[in-house]
Amino acid sequence: MADSPAPLLDDARCLCGSGEVLGACCGPVLRGQRRAPTAVALMRSRYTAFAVRDLKHLLRSWHPSTAPAREELADSLAEQVRWLRLDILATEAGGPFDEAGVVEFSALSKGPGGRSVQRERSRFVREDGTWLYLDGELG
């Protein structure tokens, strides 16, 4: 599996559900052209990365203390899952001046077994100005 997906069109609607176009939303974060300013922005970019199977962004945005092995993550991205919708349910802190934050979300997907909903309460930390996904509790 390649580390990066095929290029996405910046004028296409962003997959994260923000209502923005990719070039004004997750695109620059996925390409490493800018940092996510908030925990929610990082959550949205990670959802988009899962949807387009962007291994490079997922590993770059995962805290090294909790990140899976590259091969393990690549194997999970190879599964036949299509991500359909992201809903942000709640946030705690995670703003541009915070050092930690929580984002609760629900993500709808479709795989070989049918539709499924993943609900998670994700924890993020900001180190040296960069938001990182720490871990999550499934709900």
Which token pair is 59? 């590993």
Residue 31's nearest CA partner among 54, 15, 63 is 54
Which token pair is 63? 């805290």
Long-range contacts (CB closer than 8 Å, 24 or more residues apart) made by 24-29: 29/57
Is the pLDDT score of 60 beyond 80?
Answer: yes
How far is residue 70's CA from residue 2's CA, in Å, rounded to a whole number?
A: 11
Predicted confidence (pLDDT) per residue in 108-129, tens digit: 999 999 999 999 999 999 999 9
- 2: pLDDT confidence band, cut at 50, 70 and 90? very low
Predicted confidence (pLDDT) per residue in 8-50, tens digit: 789 999 999 999 999 999 999 999 999 999 999 999 999 999 9
| Multiple choice CATH, 22-138, 1.10.600.10, 1.10.275.10, 3.10.450.50, 3.40.50.2020 | 3.10.450.50
Is the pLDDT score of 3 beyond 80?
Answer: no
pTM for the whole thing?
Answer: 0.93
Residue 35's nearest CA partner among 138, 126, 139 is 126
